[in-house]
Structure 1
Amino acid sequence: MKKLFALAAIAAAAVAAHAQDFPGGKPVTIVVPFAAGGPTDRVARDLAEALRKPLGGASVIIDNVPGAGSSIGAAKVARATPDGYTLLLNHIAMATVPSLVRNVPFKVETDFEYLGIVNDVPMTLISKPGIPASNYKELSGWIAANKGKINIGNAGVGSASHLCGLLYQSATKTEMTPVPYKGTAPAITDLIGGQIDLLCDQTTNTTPHIQAGKVKAFAVTTSKRLALPTLKDLPTLDEAGLKNFQVTIWHGLYAPKGTPAPVLKKLNDAVKVALKDPDFIHREELLGAVVATDGRIEPAGHKKFVIDEIAKWTPVIKAAGVYAD
C-alpha cells in the first residue's frame, strides 16, 4: 500500500512539474481537420501567430488532417497524448458531426477539454445576378412563385453553406434542390454564371463577389447588422422578415480529455490574450470574422455553447437525412 501511495505521489509530482514547465520550449501543434488554404486553416494560422507570445515564445505549428466532415482530424486529437502539445481547432462541425457522420470515433461532449471559442463568421444569403428581386421581401416572393424549381448550391455535405441552406429551408418551410460542389469556389463560379440560384455562405467567401457586384446579396444571418464597411447596409434576415434566424460559423480550440488542469489554464489564458491581440483582431476582420469576447471564451461557456448547438442542428440534419461519409 505504501508503495502504491509513493507511486501516486511520484506521478502527481511529474504532472505538476510538466504543467509548471509547459510549454517548455517545445512546439504546440494545432490540428486543422480541413485542407490547407480554406477559411478554418486561415483562422488557425492567425491564431497560431497570436498564441506564440502568451505561450512564452513557443512555436505553434499547423497540421492539416482533412476528411470525413472533420472527424478524422478531430479523432487524431482525441487519441493524442493529453499533455497540451496537440490541440484541435474546429468550427461548427463539432456540433454537426454527431449527426452527419456515421460511427463517429469520438464523443464531442466527453473526449475533449474545451479551451474557448475563437470567433464567429457570419453568413450571407446571395443569389445569381439575374433574379428579379432587389430585397429580401421580393426574393421571398420569387421563391414562393417558383416552388419546386429553385436550386441552392453548397460546398459539399456538411459544409457551412450546406448547413445554412438546410436551416434556411427548414425555417422557411421550403424545399429546394441541393447542388453540392467540391468546395466553395466552384459553387460561386456557377452562381455567378447563373447555373444555380442561391447560396448561403460565409462572409470570408462571399464578400469579394458582393463587393464586385457579381452576385446579389439579400441579408446576413447575424442578430445585428455587420460593422464591416462592405456589408453594413445589408439587413439581417430577422429584420428582413425571417424572425430568429441566426447562423454563424464559429471556431473553437480543444485539447484531449485528461490534459492536466494547470496546462489547460495556461492554454486558456493564452487564448484570452491572443483574442485581444490587435493584429489578430485586424486579420480576422479582413476575413469577415468577429473575434469572440463573451462568456464562450471560458471553458465552461464554450462547452455549454457547443452542447446547445448540437441540440439546434441535430433535428435539422436528421430531418434532411444527409450524411458526410
Structure 2
Amino acid sequence: MTRFLKTFTAAAVLALVGIGAQASDFPAKDKPITIVVPFAAGGPTDRVARDLAEAMRKPLGGVSILVDNAAGAGGSIGANKVAKAAPDGYTLLVHHIGMATMPTLVRNIPFKVETDFEYLGGINDVPMTIIAKPTLPANNMKELVAWVAANKGKINLGNAGVGSASHLCGLLFQEALKTDMTPVPYKGTAPAMTDLIGGQIDLMCDQTTNTTSQIEAKKVKAFAVTSPKRLSTAALKDIPTMQESGFKDFQVSIWHGLYAPKGTPADVAKKLNDALKVALKDPDFIKKQEGLGAVVVTDKRMDSADHKKFVAAEIAKWSPIIKAAGVYAD
C-alpha cells in the first residue's frame, strides 16, 4: 500500500509539473487559438471579435487566432461550446451583454455563467441606435413618437433573434414608448438590416457597430443614440441622445467581454489577460472601434475580477426586465 501511494504521489507530481510546463509554453506557435462568437458571421459581435483577434496576435507572439461562429439559442450554443472545451487557453469566447441575460433568457441553459468560465476582461461598450426604414415619414424623435402613437398595432420591430442586443434594446424602447410592437426576429443582424433597408420592417434598435455605415450611407433613418452623450463619430455626431429626446432614463450600452473555460491554468489566463490589455491600447484597434461608434474599455473592467463583478451586476439588472417581458430563447 505504501509503495502504491509513493508511486501514485510521484505520478501526480509529474502530472502537475507537466501541466505547469505546458502552461509556461503557452501559446505554442504551431497551435492556433480559436475565438468562438455565439452569433452569425458579419454581425457586430463578429466584427469586434475579428478586430480583437488581430490586435491580440502580436502580444501572443504572432500565434494564429481564428474566429468560429456558433450561433443559436440566444448565444448559449457558442457559449456552451467554450464552457465544455479543454481548459488550455486555446478556445476562448467573445460574448456581449448576453452573458448577463442568458441565465434568465435561456431555458435549461446547459452551463452556469457565473462559475463555468474564467473571466478574462471587458473589451468595449457599444451604444445602440434607434433606426427606421428610409421611407418612414417621421424625421425626428418627436415625430417618431407621434407616428408610433398613430399606428398602434401596425408596427413591426425587427431584431437579430431572441436574446440579441437588438431584441433587448427593442424591449426597453417599447417600454419607454408604452406601446407594444410586433417583434420580427431574424437569424442574425444582417438579414434584419436588409429587410429594414428594403422596408419590410419599420424599426430596429441596434448596435452602432452594425448601423454606422448604413446611417452614413443614408440607407436608414436614425433618430437617437442610447449613450449618455452624443458620439464623436462623423456619421453619428449630429444624432441626439435618448435623454435629449425626452427619455431621461433610457440608456443602453451593449458591452463585450473575453472568456475562457473554467479551470484554465492561472498563468495561461494571465497571459491572455495581459495580451487583452495590450490589444485594448492598440491604436489600430481603438481606431476601428471608434469608427463603429464603440468605446474601448479603459477602466478596471480590463481586470478579470472586476469584469466578473460587472457581469454579476448586469445579471441582477436584466433579470427582472426579461421576466416581466415573458420572453425566452429555447
**Structure-2-length-normalised TM-score:** 0.90
User: What percentage of aligned pairs have identical amino acids?
Assistant: 74
Q: CA deviation digits over 1:201-246, x for unaligned, max 9?
A: 1222222232233322111011221110110111111222111222
**Structure-1-length-normalised TM-score:** 0.92
* Aligned mates of 1:318, 1:98 — CA distance in 2: 11
2:184 — aligned with what? 179
1:160 — aligned with what? 165
Amino acid at match of 2:219: K
* Aligned mates of 2:324, 2:207 — CA distance in 1: 23
Q: Secondary structure at the match of 2:244?
A: helix
1:14 — aligned with what? 18
* Aligned mates of 2:41, 2:248 — CA distance in 1: 36
1:290 — aligned with what? 295
Amino acid at match of 1:122: P
1:59 — aligned with what? 64
Q: CA deviation digits over 1:70-102, x for unaligned, max 9?
A: 212211111112121211111222122222221
- Please tell me whether residue 301 in structure 1 is matched to residue 329 in structure 2: no
Segment of structure 1 superposing worse, 140-149 or 150-159:
140-149
1:254 — aligned with what? 259
Q: CA deviation digits over 1:122-155, x for unaligned, max 9?
A: 2100123344433223322332343333331222
* Aligned mates of 1:192, 1:74 — CA distance in 2: 31
Residues 63 and 183 from structure 1, CA distance in 2 versus in 1: closer, same or farther, beyond 3 angstroms?
Answer: closer
* Aligned mates of 1:50, 1:150 — CA distance in 2: 41
Amino acid at match of 2:259: Y
* Aligned mates of 2:195, 2:71 — CA distance in 1: 25
1:150 — aligned with what? 155
1:324 to 307, 311, 329: 329
Residues 237 and 273 from structure 1, CA distance in 2 versus in 1: closer, same or farther, beyond 3 angstroms?
Answer: same
1:95 — aligned with what? 100
1:129 — aligned with what? 134
* Aligned mates of 1:188, 1:48 — CA distance in 2: 25
Unaligned runs of 5+ in 2: none
Q: Secondary structure at the match of 2:78?
A: helix
Q: How far has the Cα of 1:3 moved from its partner?
A: 5.4
1:111 — aligned with what? 116
Q: How many residues align?
A: 325
Q: CA deviation digits over 1:263-315, x for unaligned, max 9?
A: 11111011000111112222223333222112211111211121122222222
Q: How far has the Cα of 1:57 moved from its partner?
A: 2.1
1:36 — aligned with what? 41
Residues 127 and 265 from structure 1, CA distance in 2 versus in 1: closer, same or farther, beyond 3 angstroms?
Answer: same
